[in-house]
Structure 1
């Protein structure tokens, strides 16, 4: 086989099909027509002498030979993207780079609006591809180069390959409807927290078990009446006497966007939570990545100063 004659674009098609398990989804991801992707796959099959992908009930399944190629091809293409995209003279005003950032739900509401606005001003040609981190294996995606940055309540994974930089701290409050009967002087007591039913938010990634521990210390328990995704919280809370434990900045984002909600303090000192950004060490120095992390820091500083 004459490898010099092989079109590198064929391997980008291979990688997209391996990820998406679909010709249609791969075509959308690559901004190509389905016929172009099918034609590229046919060419690669001829070059490698293998079917590579076969149709099944679960989509396009890789053959045993293709399965052995998936990881090394993906890793090589990720490294190639980094080399090609990260120019030492990165100019945000002229760049058309796509940055792929995983964010948790809290960061999506609190940080993403500021980040999007600042990036649009500094780099009008840049695209921020914000992806929900709850559906991703963050460490694996960073390792493979699928995402450039992760932002959220992320702990240090260790191992020395990834960097973690704290952005801002937060605390927990109670989010409830205005004039909630359990709120007295802007505070909700432990007794009130035990009396009123709770809405447990399943998609925030925030750990509210501290509340159960504190209630237990006083021989109290709470009743979780509903478990629901974060974005349903305002509609549920404004129509009931349920309460939800959330980080303060997240609660303020909801109150700012929707009337009928209020923030109540806890009658004890809740734990602190930290939002951080995480990136792979190979992205330490490239100019484009430095710029991206810097605008995240600027936005995070603004958020950090919003609650003193």
Structure 2
């Protein structure tokens, strides 16, 4: 296909249709009529000899060709936008930007206290909202800019995303002081006989550790399952239950709840915690500033 046949405005319509999934939404975002968007789609279909978007009850679903075009078109438009428009300098001390960051609840425990303390002194007008990466289509939300950054063990994010390692997570076994297993080392037989509390966290690094133990035949006498970490330290503090947790969470629980932990009797794989952002926002000043702050505070 010769580039001289391609109208740049058609690619802009294509990108909005891909992200929005509806002609009416794309038209509203572009400030044009729905017939204008439909006409542009007709021209796009003729240009690429493909339907590109199929109308369904869930909106306009992209064809395989449209999915293949989406990332290079977005990158090309983003690069062109950067050339044609000078980036406005980002001033954290005066900004009122609202960041949305995807992380787990254990991520909130580790990241948010230190992050919010730093923002309080460096960027008092900036606000942060968190969202669970398992509760949304994270890739689509980050592509559209609804979610700015994601933190965690997220191997499913595609090559359209940049990532940088923050640290590696080691897993340990935690319990209350004075527990019958409160000794320097815990044997596998002790671990299997003990009563466990398990945080059900499918789709996360913690969920993968649970799957690893099940796959390798490690037996656990599970007395309690909970969907989050928020009450875990309180539960361990008042019972004889034990839990498999990250060492960073255990260290915080020792500091605030006086709990104890030992090396895990199962040779569990470490989990790498990365910071992710979409290629569309790689050079966006606000994103660059927040990423730099997170690297400074948490990178090991």
Q: Whole-Å Cα distance in 1 between the matches of residues 231 and 122 of structure 2?
A: 33
Partner of 2:284: 286
Partner of 1:142: 142
1:68 deviation in Å? 4.3
Where does structure 2 lack aligned partners over 5 or more consecutive residues?
1-19, 21-32, 35-54, 63-76
Partner of 1:180: 179
Q: Which secondary structure does the structure 2 equivalent of 1:151 belong to?
A: strand
Q: Whole-Å Cα distance in 2 between the matches of residues 65 and 274 of structure 1?
A: 39
Q: Which secondary structure does the structure 1 equivalent of 2:134 belong to?
A: helix
| Contact in 1 for aligned 2:191/2:265 (Cα 8 Å) | no
Partner of 1:133: 133
TM-score, normalised to structure 2's length? 0.67
Number of aligned residue pairs: 227
Superimposed CA distance per residue, residues 145-189 of structure 1 (whole angstroms, 9 cap, x where no aligned partner): 21100111212533x31112111111000111112112322x221
1:213 deviation in Å? 5.0
Shift in CA distance, 123/179, structure 1 to aligned 2, threshold 3 Å = same
| Contact in 2 for aligned 1:105/1:203 (Cα 8 Å) | no
| Contact in 2 for aligned 1:106/1:152 (Cα 8 Å) | no
Q: Whole-Å Cα distance in 2 between the matches of residues 176 and 105 of structure 1?
A: 20
Q: Whole-Å Cα distance in 2 between the matches of residues 65 and 161 of structure 1?
A: 26
241, 262, 265: which one aligns with 2:263 = 265
Q: Whole-Å Cα distance in 2 between the matches of residues 122 and 149 of structure 1?
A: 19
1:191 deviation in Å? 1.0
- Correspondence 1:152 to 2:146: no
| Contact in 2 for aligned 1:182/1:189 (Cα 8 Å) | no
Q: Which secondary structure does the structure 1 equivalent of 2:147 belong to?
A: coil
Q: Which secondary structure does the structure 2 equivalent of 1:117 belong to?
A: helix
Partner of 2:294: 296
Superimposed CA distance per residue, residues 109-156 of structure 1 (whole angstroms, 9 cap, x where no aligned partner): 111211111122211111112223332221121122211001112125
Q: Whole-Å Cα distance in 2 between the matches of residues 199 and 65 of structure 1?
A: 44
Q: Whole-Å Cα distance in 1 between the matches of residues 272 and 56 of structure 2?
A: 44
Partner of 1:119: 119
Q: Whole-Å Cα distance in 1 between the matches of residues 151 and 101 of structure 2?
A: 7
1:65 deviation in Å? 10
Q: Whole-Å Cα distance in 2 between the matches of residues 132 and 252 of structure 1?
A: 23
Q: Whole-Å Cα distance in 2 between the matches of residues 199 and 256 of structure 1?
A: 20
Partner of 2:253: 254
Shift in CA distance, 136/65, structure 1 to aligned 2, threshold 3 Å = closer
Partner of 1:94: 94
Partner of 1:52: none
Q: Which secondary structure does the structure 2 equivalent of 1:167 belong to?
A: strand
TM-score, normalised to structure 1's length? 0.65
Q: Whole-Å Cα distance in 2 between the matches of residues 98 and 69 of structure 1?
A: 30
1:203 deviation in Å? 3.7
Q: Which secondary structure does the structure 1 equivalent of 2:219 belong to?
A: coil
Q: Whole-Å Cα distance in 2 between the matches of residues 107 and 166 of structure 1?
A: 15
| Contact in 1 for aligned 2:152/2:274 (Cα 8 Å) | yes
- Computed over aligned residues only, the root mean square deviation of the Cα atoms, in angstroms, reads 3.1
Q: Which secondary structure does the structure 2 equivalent of 1:91 belong to?
A: coil
Shift in CA distance, 180/213, structure 1 to aligned 2, threshold 3 Å = farther
Partner of 1:43: none
Q: Whole-Å Cα distance in 1 between the matches of residues 181 and 100 of structure 2?
A: 43
Shift in CA distance, 68/132, structure 1 to aligned 2, threshold 3 Å = closer
1:299 deviation in Å? 1.3
- Correspondence 1:202 to 2:200: yes
Partner of 1:40: none
